[in-house]
Structures are given as structure tokens and as C-alpha cells.
């Protein structure tokens, strides 16, 4: 079936040793069955180092070093599996990150997750978030689903990109259209909830306590908040299988956008570079924990 992507997607390349928040630090990486078979039979010189680095208890995964780094990350930030053997020897997660996929009635869509700082830079730097390109074919057949989220997504993008309206007004119309708004709960309720989530970095728990739904957006940064919101809709709205799921995705997206604005305000962020860091952090903590995402999606519609 056909594979589609946002227009900025083909410009993505991992910035490897230049990455300040490498996905090879702090994350435990599972090794899939197919790659395990390759590693088990590998005879190349670096093969033994790979075998020795895998913890086979429960799901096989690379055992992190004491400093939480992947054992294959070298001192300069490059992957030793790639430098010794080539990209073909990466496991599925390392090959695919930071990509995500969604099935639609027209084919598959691929996107880049905002927890990756280079992906985040591309997402927030690109204004044509509604434009898609066909980038090739992917295995599998289109499995028609009753609920088609794409017309709803288009409608949201058309409201969001209507720059004749103030930004806050566009957010209000989207919230009203879908009957879901972060303002349906008090700021204290959201802060309590944020305080109860799991965090990769405990410092973010305190940072997120600055949450406020109605706070105005940091001056000059609304255009980037708009793109962040479009990204959350692209990722979560498209994955919805029914109207309730789409409504929850819209609520989650609106909430994440307000959290980015709140943290940016609290931290005195005044440029794109600063906002990229806040957006990356929010994505990492809220989107890359399935538990946190599900908790927030169910709370936003309850
Ligand atoms: S977070 Fe992104 S840019 Fe950084 S190492 Fe991972 S894939 Fe590369």
C-alpha cells in the first residue's frame, strides 16, 4: 500500500553525535525476535560485544551502562553497531525511531515523533503541516475502517491555519467543535494529575506544575505552538478508531499545547530554540509513556 508523510519528513536525518538528548541515553531498548536471530548467529568481530550486551531476561534488551547510556554508544555519540557493522544490523526500534505509523483508509501515514530534538526542530520550523507527500510503498493492505478521521483532521487544520483569527480564538473554535477543552478541569486538577504521572526526568514534574489552561501564549511563539498542536493532531487524531477516540485525541492535543505554552511562559522562553526544548520535553514525558498518554486522554473527556 502507499505510504504518505508530511512534506518535511524526507528532510529528517538523525544528527547522532550532535544530539543533546540522544535517544540512546536513558531508554531501555528491546531487541525484536528477528534481530535476536541475527545477533545469535553473528560471526563478525563486534558480534560478541553485541551478544554480551543483551539481557535475555523477559524481553531481550540492551543492558544500559551505569550512566544510563546504551552500551553501543561511543564517547563521541556514535553507534558502534553502525560504525562496526552498518545500519543493517540495528534492531527494529533503533532502525525506526523516531518514526510512527498510522493506518488510514487511503494507505499508511508515517510521522516523526517530537521527542527527538531534530524531528521537533523540523516539525516546529515547518508551516505546511497539512501538506502530505507520497513517499513510496509499504507492505500490507488497506483495511477499511468505519470512522475516517482525515476529514476531521482537515477541518481542524483549516481552523488552525486561519491567521485572520487570533490564535486563542482558533483554539476555542477547535475545542468547541469537538466538545472538549482543557478548561473543562481547573488548573489545580490538571496540576494534581500531572504531579501523579510517571516521569523519565523527575525535574520535569516540578516544571510541569506551572500548568495553566487560560494563560496567554508566549509573545511571538504562537506560530510554533500552532505547529505543535497540528503535530499532536496528526499523530493522535489519525490513530483514532471512532469519534470518542478522536475527541480524546483532540483534548490531549489541546492539553499538550497548553502545557508547552505554560512551561515556556514560566521559563521565560522567547525563541524557537527554547520552544523546541520545551516541546521535546512534553512529548518525551507525555507521549512516550503509553500510561501517561492514556491517563490524559481519558481524563480530558471525563
Ligand atoms: S533523538 Fe533523534 S537526533 Fe537524537 S540520536 Fe535519537 S534519532 Fe538521532
Average pLDDT, the chain: 95
- CA nearest ligand 1 atom 5, residue: 22
The atom of ligand 1 lying closest to the CA of 97 is 7
Ligand 1 centroid to 229 CA: how many Å?
A: 21
- For the CA atoms of 21, 25, 28, 33, the dihedral, rounded to the nearest 10 degrees, stands at 90
The atom of ligand 1 lying closest to the CA of 15 is 3
Q: What is the pTM of this model?
A: 0.93
Q: pLDDT band at residue 216, thresholds of 50, 70 and 90?
A: confident
pLDDT computed for residue 215 by the predictor: 79
Closest by CA to 147, choosing from 232, 246, 235, 233, is: 246
Q: What angle do CA 106, 280, 22 make, to 5 degrees?
A: 100
Whole-angstrom distance, CA of residue 285 vs CA of residue 51: 31
Q: pLDDT band at residue 112, thresholds of 50, 70 and 90?
A: very high
- CA nearest ligand 1 atom 3, residue: 14
Ligand 1 centroid to 134 CA: how many Å?
A: 24
With a Cβ cut-off of 6 Å, ligand 1 is lined by: 14-16, 19, 22-23, 97-98, 116-118
Q: What is the mean pLDDT of residues 28-44?
A: 93
pLDDT computed for residue 302 by the predictor: 86
- CA nearest ligand 1 atom 1, residue: 116
Amino acid at each position: 500500500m502507499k505510504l504518505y508523510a508530511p512534506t518535511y519528513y524526507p528532510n529528517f536525518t538523525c544528527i547522532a553525535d550532535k544530539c543533546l538528548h540522544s535517544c540512546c541515553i536513558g531508554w531501555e531498548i528491546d531487541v525484536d525476535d528477528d534481530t535476536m536471530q541475527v545477533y545469535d548467529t553473528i560471526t563478525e568481530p563486534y558480534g560478541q560485544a553485541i551478544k554480551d550486551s543483551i539481557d535475555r531476561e523477559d524481553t531481550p534488551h540492551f543492558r544500559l551502562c551505569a550512566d544510563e547510556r546504551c552500551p553501543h554508544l561511543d564517547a563521541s555519540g556514535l553507534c558502534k553497531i553502525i560504525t562496526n557493522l552498518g545500519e543493517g544490523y540495528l534492531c527494529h526500534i533503533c532502525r525506526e525511531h523516531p518514526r510512527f505509523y498510522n493506518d488510514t483508509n487511503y494507505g499508511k501515514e508515517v510521522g516523526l515523533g517530537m521527542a527527538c530534538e531534530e524531528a521537533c526542530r523540523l516539525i516546529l520550523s515547518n508551516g505546511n503541516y497539512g501538506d502530505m507527500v507520497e513517499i513510496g510503498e509499504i507492505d500490507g493492505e488497506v483495511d477499511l475502517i468505519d470512522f475516517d478521521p482525515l476529514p476531521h483532521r482537515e477541518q481542524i487544520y483549516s481552523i488552525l491555519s486561519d491567521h485572520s483569527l487570533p490564535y486563542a480564538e482558533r483554539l476555542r473554535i477547535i475545542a468547541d467543535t469537538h466538545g472538549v477543552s482543557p478548561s473543562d478541569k481547573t488548573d489545580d486538577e490538571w496540576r494534581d494529575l500531572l504531579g501523579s504521572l510517571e516521569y523519565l526526568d523527575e525535574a520535569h514534574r516540578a516544571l510541569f506544575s506551572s500548568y495553566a489552561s487560560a494563560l496567554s501564549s508566549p509573545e511571538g511563539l504562537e506560530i510554533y505552538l500552532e505547529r505543535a498542536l497540528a503535530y499532536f493532531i496528526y499523530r493522535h487524531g489519525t490513530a483514532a478508531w471512532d469519534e470518542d477516540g478522536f475527541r480524546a485525541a483532540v483534548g490531549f492535543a489541546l492539553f499538550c499545547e497548553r502545557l508547552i505554552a505554560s512551561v515556556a511562559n514560566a521559563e521565560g522562553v522567547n525563541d524557537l530554540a527554547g520552544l523546541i526544548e520545551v516541546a521535546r520535553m512534553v512529548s518525551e514525558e507525555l507521549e512516550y509513556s503509553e500510561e501517561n498518554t492514556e491517563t490524559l486522554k481519558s481524563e480530558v473527556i471525563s
